């Protein structure tokens, strides 16, 4: 599925989290295909390391998250670790503390993020996908949260994102039944943004990422900050942050470059400053 130069690849969690960068696009791959990319605690920690490196890499302007193989984006948590790591409330709280820290890195990631979803996207996989800015899915994808079938209480943050995307009624149906929905239904209810033929999913996702990468980073940062503030309650919004990034855009070299490139009828070369 992925065409990533091997010399540009770094691995974490004993090779089960892969990170690469190409043409301004960072790629994180959940690489546990024999378990349908189920996440162990080591993989959660590896995801955090990959995200931090991509966040600090100035050459990276957008990040794609995807799953290895053709069966799953992520099928949730590795249930084989439950007896060791989540066997009671105290153990589960410690597990959640560790995994929540990595999900927070994604939720607060300052650059655009895209989930490229093929196959199963279940439980924690849905939680990760919902934390990204944009979700593209193959036409053979399946989505679900089987918490009720496992006796697990789904957390506030995960439900907050689910409700914001699909509304409370669909959130209840998904949680109460634990049933799976297909990609067409996921698109209809707003869980994903685009459904693409399986054979074209990666190239179309990469094309969108390259388009984002070629645009002005400060303008995209302004959009990301402002949309995040729009989604907050009015009394929690940081209007100062919106004003600050707006002023930074207007005073930037990229704004001058954009105007000049338009007048000269050429493609702009944005530098993020």
- More confident site: 171 or 151: 171
pTM beyond 0.75: yes
The edge-to-edge listing of strands for the beta sheet with 181-182 is: 72-74, 120-122, 142-144, 181-182
CB of 63 within 8 A of CB of 25?
yes
Q: Which sequence spans correspond to the domains of the chain?
A: 6-213, 216-264
Sorting pLDDT into bands at 50, 70 and 90, what band is 269?
Answer: confident
Sorting pLDDT into bands at 50, 70 and 90, what band is 82?
Answer: low
Tokens found for residue 270? 């944005």
CATH of domain 6-213: 3.90.226.10
CA nearest 175: which of 187, 190, 160, 188?
160
**For position 166, what pLDDT does the model report?**
96
Kindly state the DSSP code that residue 34 receives in the 8-state scheme: G
Give the model confidence (pLDDT) of 24-56 as tens digits: 999 999 999 999 999 888 999 999 999 999 999
């Amino acid at each position: 599925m992925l065409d990533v130069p091997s010399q540009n690849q770094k691995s974490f969690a004993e090779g089960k989290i892969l990170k690469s960068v190409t043409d301004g696009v960072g790629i994180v791959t959940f690489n546990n295909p024999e378990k349908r990319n189920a996440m162990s605690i080591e993989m959660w920690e590896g995801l955090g390391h990959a995200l931090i490196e991509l966040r600090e890499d100035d050459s990276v302007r957008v990040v794609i998250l995807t799953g290895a193989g053709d069966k799953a984006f992520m099928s949730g948590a590795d249930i084989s670790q439950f007896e060791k790591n989540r066997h009671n409330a105290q153990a589960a709280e410690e597990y959640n503390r560790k995994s929540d820290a990595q999900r927070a890195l994604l939720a607060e990631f300052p650059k655009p993020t895209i989930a490229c979803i093929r196959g199963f996207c279940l439980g924690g996989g849905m939680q990760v996908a919902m934390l990204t800015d944009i979700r593209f899915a193959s036409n053979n994808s399946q989505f679900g949260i089987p918490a009720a079938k496992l006796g697990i209480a789904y957390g506030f943050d995960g439900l907050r994102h689910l409700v914001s995307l699909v509304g409370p009624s669909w959130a209840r149906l998904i949680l109460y039944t634990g049933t799976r929905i297909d990609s067409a239904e996921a698109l209809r209810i707003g869980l994903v943004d685009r459904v693409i033929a399986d054979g074209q999913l990666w190239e179309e996702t990469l094309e969108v990422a390259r388009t984002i990468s070629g645009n002005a980073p400060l303008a995209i940062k302004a959009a990301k900050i402002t949309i995040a503030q729009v989604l907050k309650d009015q009394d929690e919004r940081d209007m100062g942050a919106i004003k600050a990034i707006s002023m930074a855009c207007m005073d930037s070299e990229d704004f001058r470059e954009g105007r000049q490139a338009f007048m000269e009828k050429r493609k702009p070369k944005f530098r993020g400053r």
